[in-house]
């Protein structure tokens, strides 16, 4: 088992009441898990807790988390430096926002590679080109010489994903990675993410509002509501036979075309 999360609870700041509670799931090598749920249900909190990057004084108040045999709750800073970016990496909703607008993409990509490896600048540049090519980005040299504002949202997101997969992490955490994009680009990027994850036998947790995306990409699904997991299991089983009212409502909102529900 790659990731094992048991009874996770997270509280923010001095608030004694946990924002999420009793969150339990596990992930094997090569598995893709989708998390769906209403806004504020705690999806982002779950994946930020895994990487120990909770904002606002957020902290794990109870539970257990193990990744690749390591207890994540007792890991020191050095341990985290070895994990983040290399074994576990994160893809955000808008990678363009995560990058510095006054430096070229190449400068940031090369720096990122050099922080996590002992490659010289030239080899790091070549590695960046390889990764951009993997994400189907044409003219990677031109992209490395560009600034984030010169690229479309879809291209920026592909750059973000290229960076996240640079060191072939075992686990990708993707927080609504395509929801800022138009439908066509969304579909392409979801396809690319799946291709890359499956190809590397890596695992992924993807947060999405889109049940169609979840159905297409994931093996397992958890549905969250009010800080709790209200339903979890194999994606296709849940979609064919939802138990919880909230899941039924979610499914009912997916359009039906010619008697077939497109999830
Ligand atoms: N920085 C923060 N400081 C304090 N409380 C926070 C913070 N971030 C999140 N929370 C609390 O955690 C709850 C869940 O937030 P979270 O971002 O995990 O939800 P989400 O399911 O990802 O929502 P969305 O679909 O809108 O992204 C919020 O309603 C809020 O109470
Ligand atoms: Mg969120």
Query: For 189-222, how does the pLDDT look when each residue is reduced to its tens digit (9 = 90+)?
Result: 999 999 999 999 999 999 998 888 899 999 999 9
Work out which ligand 1 atom sits closest to the CA atom of 176.
Answer: 27
SS3 call for 155: helix
Question: Which pair of structure tokens corresponds to residue 233?
Answer: 């299991």
- According to the model, what pLDDT value does residue 3 have? 98
Integer-rounded Cα radius of gyration of the chain:
19
Q: What is the pLDDT of residue 254?
A: 74
Ligand 1, atom 3: closest residue by C-alpha: 56
Predicted pLDDT at 261: 58
Residue 45 Cβ < 6 Å to ligand 1: yes
Take residue 205 and report the two structure tokens written for it.
């947790």
Ligand 1 mutation pick, 13, 14, 41, 90, max ligand atoms within 8 A of CB: 41
What's the pLDDT at 94? 84
* Burial degree of 26 (CB within 10 A; 0-12, 13-18, 19+): middle
CB atoms within 10 A of CB 57: 10
40 ligand 1 Cβ < 6 A = yes
Q: What are 2-13's pLDDT values in tens digits?
A: 999 999 999 999
Enumerate residue ranges in the chain where pLDDT < 50: none
Please tell me the residue having the least CA distance from ligand 1 atom 28: 40
**pTM confidence score:** 0.94
**Domain extents in the chain:** 3-87+170-261, 96-166
Q: Mutation test of ligand 1: which of 44, 228, 230 has the most ligand atoms closer than 8 Å to its C-beta?
A: 44
Give the position, in ligand 1's atom list, of the atom nearest the Cα of 227.
14
The pLDDT, as a whole number, for residue 258 is 56
Work out the number of other CB atoms within 10 angstroms of the CB of residue 129: 18
- Rounded to the nearest whole angstrom, what is the distance from the C-alpha of residue 198 to the centroid of ligand 1? 30
DSSP 22: E
From the CB of residue 183, how many other CB atoms can be counted at a distance below 10 Å? Answer: 9
> What does the pLDDT read at residue 250?
85
Counting from 1 in the atom list of ligand 1, the atom nearest the Cα of 37 is: 21
Q: Which of 15, 35, 43, 225 to mutate to test the pocket of ligand 1 (most atoms within 8 A of CB)?
A: 43
> Closest residue (by CA) to atom 16 of ligand 1?
42
Q: Report, at the CATH architecture level, how domain 3-87+170-261 is classified.
A: 3-Layer(aba) Sandwich (3.40)
Q: How far is the CA of 226 from the centre of ligand 1 (A)?
A: 10
- In sequence order, the 6+-apart residues with CB closer than 8 A to the CB of 237 are none
Distance 258 CA to ligand 2 centre (A): 33
Residue 188 Cα to chain centre, angstroms: 16
145 alpha carbon – ligand 2 mean position (Å)? 32
């Amino acid at each position: 088992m790659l990731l094992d999360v048991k009874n996770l609870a997270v509280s923010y700041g001095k608030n004694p009441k946990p924002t999420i509670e009793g969150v339990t799931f596990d992930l094997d090598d090569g598995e893709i898990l989708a998390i769906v749920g209403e806004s504020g249900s705690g999806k982002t909190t779950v994946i930020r807790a895994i990487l120990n990057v909770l904002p606002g004084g957020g902290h794990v108040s109870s539970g257990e988390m193990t990744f690749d045999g390591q207890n994540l709750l007792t890991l020191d800073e050095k341990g985290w430096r070895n994990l983040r970016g290399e074994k576990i990496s994160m893809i955000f909703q808008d990678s363009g926002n995560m990058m510095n607008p006054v430096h070229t993409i190449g400068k940031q990509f090369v720096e990122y590679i050099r922080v996590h490896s002992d490659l010289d600048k030239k080899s790091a540049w070549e590695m960046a080109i390889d990764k951009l090519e993997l994400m189907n980005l044409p003219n990677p040299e031109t992209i490395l010489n560009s600034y984030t504002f010169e690229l479309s949202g879809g291209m920026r997101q592909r750059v973000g994903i290229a960076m996240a997969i640079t060191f072939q992490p075992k686990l990708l955490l993707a927080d609504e990675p395509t929801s800022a994009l138009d439908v066509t680009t969304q579909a392409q990027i979801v396809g690319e993410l799946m291709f890359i994850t499956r190809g590397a036998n890596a695992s992924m947790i993807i947060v999405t509002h889109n049940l169609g995306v979840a159905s297409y990409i994931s093996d397992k699904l958890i549905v969250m509501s009010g800080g709790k997991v209200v339903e979890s299991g194999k994606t296709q089983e849940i979609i064919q036979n939802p138990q919880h009212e909230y899941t039924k409502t979610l499914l009912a909102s997916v359009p039906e075309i010619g008697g077939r529900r497109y999830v």
